């Protein structure tokens, strides 16, 4: 089993050197007097210690044991409850929450960094607290003061946990089809009836109560997404003081038997006239829910990043130790009967791909989180608007590409282990199985792709895309005199122009055949993702070169960063051309067969 080691040095590189968090957050009064480099590092160290010593050691056992289900009661794997209690004691549940309700008021960026470590060390365990954070965000933004005092305070303290209940068996990502009903009651509450499936952390033994955030329809509500409302449905009813009362009529009727994330209970939840409370306006539930869903999508992106990181760590250690054959240029370890497989170019290529995806994904996830903080805290309306638009544009890219690259990294990890990677005891195949879900939940890669191209790019008439290309232009102009960056800037400029041209090409074709959008969307997302990574890798290369020019004492770290940037540009960025060629072929080949013609 790979031994998880939190990548604190690289996390600090992105936070302090690339994003300059301490300096950039001084502009926000909320953080000016409390956020500094030392404090951030202290949080990272505490979280790393928890992840390495509390939840990483139970990761493989939780996969093998899974959750236990007995007549509606779910028991989590051995060690989960103790780890959760320790997590609460350390105060991590309240990290980013509003201080008015018991939170610490730290920035989203810090939570995302800690979330990376949680997911990398024990994906299944991390999901329990991850769902709670989304419930907190929804209540913070849309709950009444009474709802905040009753439910939010308990979520922040970690005494209760939360879920989101969207999916129904006949309605996956198309939420307009949901049938769960909400009937108004004389006391102002609602009676919720229906069945939800795929509810992560829907039932467990970690906390005394679970707060379900549920989508349902009111009587006579409009059809489709315009007729959905949002409700709080607690596992146990509570009185006005927030004290637990009788069990609510919400029951877990089954847990799913899954390919991976065995330690997390994925539940079928039945609501049988359960008591619920409306959040936000009637028939505006989906708008409120997007607070939760967007949080979850960035969280899922971080899971993909974590998969790349742990797969890389495991593969790297194995490649250094496993011996097989000799290097083509002659024996590198003549004292051994064969060389370590890390000397072979094919193995190096897989390792470098994992490293480039992990470090590039970290840069994108943290970059996104920084803009989320700007939206939350800036008093500059123009700055907030730009950050909000960048988030809208980059969230589908992050969710889809970080998870897809996480899956590719996991595959490379098994491949480097060879036959041993296919064996359970080494833990690499668990990473593959756990990572596979990330491209599915919170909107599949294909749905994210359509969202990016159809809604974010074409519907905005290219405005959201231009925000990103403007960042590229700005970086190129500011650094055009830097000869060390010339190779990066030349490719960035070329790709930026190409990006705008292919977008215009698709838009023009779509005017005659809307299917062109769907046919091009997945390639468009991959293509866009590699360019966004190229921008971030160029920024990281600039910082690394500056540190080397200053005669840093960490020369090896920064040289490795430059070499990884070079690998990304020379070996991975070429993939854009394959996706470009595919987009240009259009929809005809994709749509050529009628549905009945698919039959064998």
Catalytic residue ranges: 442
Map residue 253 onto helix, strand or coil.
strand
Rounded to 5 degrees, what are φ and ψ at 522? -65, -45
Q: Work out whether strand 73-75 and strand 209-216 pair parallel, antiparallel, or are unpaired.
A: unpaired
Q: How far is CA 212 from the centre of its chain?
A: 21
**CA pair distance 319, 311, nearest whole angstrom:** 12
**CA pair distance 367, 561, nearest whole angstrom:** 18
> How many angstroms separate the Cα of 253 from the Cα of each of 68, 124, 268, 413?
13, 20, 6, 37
**CA pair distance 220, 217, nearest whole angstrom:** 8
Q: If you search the block for the tokens 């933004």, which residue do you land on?
A: 141
Kindly report the CA angle at 386 between 449 and 100, in degrees rounded to 5?
100
Tokens for 65, please give them.
């044991």
> How many angstroms separate the Cα of 182 from the Cα of each of 163, 226, 251?
18, 15, 17
Tokens for 187, please give them.
């006391």
β-bridge mates for residue 377, sequence order: none
Q: What is the Cβ-side half-sphere exposure of residue 182, based on CA atoms within 13 angstroms?
A: 25
- Please report the DSSP string for 83-121 in residue order: HHHHHHHTTGGGTTS-GGGT-----HHHHHHHHHHHHHH
Q: Is 221 exposed, middle or buried (0-12, 13-18, 19+ CB in 10 A)?
A: middle
**CA pair distance 243, 47, nearest whole angstrom:** 31
Helix H or strand E segment including 541: helix 515-549
């Amino acid at each position: 089993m790979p031994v998880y080691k939190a990548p604190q040095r690289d996390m600090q590189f992105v936070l302090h050197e690339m994003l300059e968090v301490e300096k950039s957050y001084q502009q926000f009064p909320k953080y000016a007097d409390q956020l500094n480099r030392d404090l951030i590092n202290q949080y990272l160290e505490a979280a790393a210690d928890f992840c390495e010593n509390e939840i990483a050691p139970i990761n493989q056992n939780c996969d093998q044991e899974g959750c236990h289900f007995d007549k509606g009661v779910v028991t989590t794997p051995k060690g989960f409850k103790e780890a959760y209690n320790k997590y609460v004691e350390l105060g991590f549940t309240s990290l980013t929450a509003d201080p008015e309700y018991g939170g610490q008021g730290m920035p989203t960026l810090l939570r995302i960094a800690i979330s990376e470590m949680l997911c990398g060390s024990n994906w299944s365990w991390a999901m329990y607290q991850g769902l709670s954070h989304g419930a907190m965000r929804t209540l913070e933004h849309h709950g009444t003061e009474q709802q905040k005092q009753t439910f939010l305070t308990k979520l922040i303290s970690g005494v209760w946990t939360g879920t989101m209940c969207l999916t129904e068996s006949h309605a996956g990502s198309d939420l307009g089809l949901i049938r769960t009903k909400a009937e108004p009651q004389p006391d102002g509450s609602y009676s919720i009836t229906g069945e939800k499936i795929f509810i992560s952390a829907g039932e467990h033994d970690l906390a005394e109560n679970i707060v379900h955030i549920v989508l349902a329809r009111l009587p006579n509500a409009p059809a489709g997404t315009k007729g959905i409302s949002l409700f709080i449905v607690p596992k146990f009813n509570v009185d006005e003081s927030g004290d637990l009362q009788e069990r609510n009529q919400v029951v877990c009727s089954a847990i799913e038997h899954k390919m991976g994330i065995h330690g997390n209970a994925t539940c079928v939840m039945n609501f049988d006239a359960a008591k619920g409370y409306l959040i936000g306006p009637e028939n505006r539930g989906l708008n409120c829910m997007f607070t939760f869903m967007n949080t979850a999508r960035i969280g899922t992106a971080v899971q993909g990043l974590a998969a790349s990181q742990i797969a890389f760590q495991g593969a790297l250690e194995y490649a250094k130790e496993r011996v097989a054959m000799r290097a083509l240029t002659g024996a590198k370890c003549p004292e051994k009967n064969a060389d370590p497989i890390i000397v072979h170019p094919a193995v190096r290529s897989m390792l470098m791909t994992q490293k480039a995806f992990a470090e590039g994904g970290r840069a994108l996830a943290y970059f996104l989180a920084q803009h989320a903080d700007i939206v939350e805290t800036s008093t500059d309306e123009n700055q907030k608007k730009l950050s909000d638009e960048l988030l809208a544009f980059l969230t589908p890219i992050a969710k889809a590409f970080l998870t897809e690259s996480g899956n590719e990294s996991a595959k490379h990890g098994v491949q480097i282990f060879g036959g041993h990677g296919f064996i359970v005891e080494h833990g690499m195949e668990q990473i593959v199985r756990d990572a596979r879900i990330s491209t599915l939940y919170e909107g599949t890669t294909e749905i994210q792709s359509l969202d990016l191209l159809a809604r974010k790019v074409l519907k905005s008439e290219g405005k959201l895309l231009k925000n990103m290309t403007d960042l590229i232009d700005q970086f190129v102009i500011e650094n055009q005199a830097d000869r060390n960056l010339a190779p990066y800037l030349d490719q960035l400029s070329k790709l930026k122009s190409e990006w705008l041209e292919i977008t215009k090409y698709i838009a023009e074709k779509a005017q005659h055949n809307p299917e062109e959008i769907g046919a091009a969307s997945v390639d468009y997302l991959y293509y866009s993702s590699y360019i966004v990574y190229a921008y971030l890798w160029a920024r990281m290369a600039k910082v690394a070169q500056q540190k080397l020019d200053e005669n840093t004492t960490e020369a090896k770290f920064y040289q490795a960063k430059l070499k990884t940037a070079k690998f990304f540009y020379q070996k991975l960025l070429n993939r854009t051309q394959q996706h470009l060629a595919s987009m240009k072929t259009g929809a005809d080949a994709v749509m050529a067969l009628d549905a009945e013609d698919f039959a064998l």
